[in-house]
Amino acid sequence: MEKIVDLLKDTSIPRFIDEEVRPFRNLMLEYRCALKEVETKFDVLSDEFSLKYNRNPVESIKTRLKSPNSILGKLKRKNLPLKATSIEENLNDVAGIRIICSFIDDIYDLVSMFTRQDDIKVIEVKDYIKNPKENGYRSLHLIIEVPIFLTDCTKNVRVEVQFRTIAMDFWASLEHEIKYKKNVNSKEVYDELRELATINHNLDVRMQNLRKSVELK
Ligand code: 0O2
């Protein structure tokens, strides 16, 4: 919460944000609850899958709540009102969960197990594994709504779920580091990262084929 206090000192942000502090806090609480709900669902799927098939499809799970600075930055970039209701209506990625899987097939299995749950409403699917981004980025993104049960009501809350293999996550993490932290933007670096993405994908495919051939033996 200190961060929102810092933001109040930023004169470029209109003063009416004062009255938005409480709704903003409530909204963040809802996003935190939604993340817990979704994380539990993947813990359950992973536990049962492990028991059934004797291997774990989920390598790790990371959750993150977008920082107040990034939220306000995104609202400003999109020329949207700096209000809690505007966050709720327009931003899909305030609550984010990343599921890192061992193999590509595990991603599609988990997506199908997760999205057929009765209380999950799929809003959007972006399959950057089948259709990688121009720069080579691969991952499968879902925007979903999950109900959370509060003291006096039930609310459907949006969460972005990203599925990656270990290899995809390795590439994306380093690409993010190189691109944003070091602020490098040359064609040489872009081409190299793109080529590495292809090598990375081939690695994923070969690992998966190897697992399948070992399972058949
Ligand atoms: P952070 O810090 O991970 O949250 P939208 O959010 O819908 O306005 P867009 O581009 O349509 O924007 O969403 P998309 O394509 O679903 O991508 C959103 C998130 O995917 C990003 O969130 C990254 O986490 C990840 N992502 C997408 N493209 C790339 C990429 O080329 N490289 C890397 N490393 N990650 C990518 P944020 O908000 O950018 O960051």
Q: Rounded to an integer, what distance in angstroms lies between the CA atom of residue 46 and that of residue 158?
A: 22
Average pLDDT along the chain: 90
pLDDT tens for each residue of 94-129: 999 999 999 999 999 999 999 999 999 999 999 999
User: CB of 93 within 8 A of CB of 64?
Assistant: no
Least confidently predicted of 25-29, 143-147, 167-171? 25-29
pLDDT band of residue 12 (cuts 50, 70, 90) is very low
- Return the residue whose CA atom lies nearest to atom 15 of ligand 1: 126
Q: How confident is the model at residue 15 (pLDDT cuts 50, 70, 90)?
A: very low
Q: Which atom of ligand 1 is nearest to the CA of 162?
A: 20
For residues 157 and 148, is the Cβ–Cβ distance under 8 A?
A: yes
pLDDT at 191: 92
Return the residue whose CA atom lies nearest to atom 6 of ligand 1. 93
Which atom of ligand 1 is the closest one to the Cα of 175? 34
> Does ligand 1 lie within 6 Å of residue 93's CB atom?
yes
Alpha helices in 54-83 (DSSP H): 68-77
- 88: pLDDT confidence band, cut at 50, 70 and 90? very high
- Ligand 1 lined by 133 (C-beta under 6 Å): yes
The residue to mutate among 176, 184, 189, having the most atoms of ligand 1 within 8 angstroms of its beta carbon, is 176
Q: Which of 93, 141, 143 to mutate to test the pocket of ligand 1 (most atoms within 8 A of CB)?
A: 93
Measured in Å, residue 139 CA sits from the centre of ligand 1 at 10
Distance of CA 67 to the CA centre of its chain: 14
Report the predicted TM-score, pTM, of the whole model to 2 decimal places. Answer: 0.89
Residue identifier of the C-alpha nearest atom 28 of ligand 1: 137
Cα–Cα distance for residue pair 40/50, rounded to 1 Å: 15
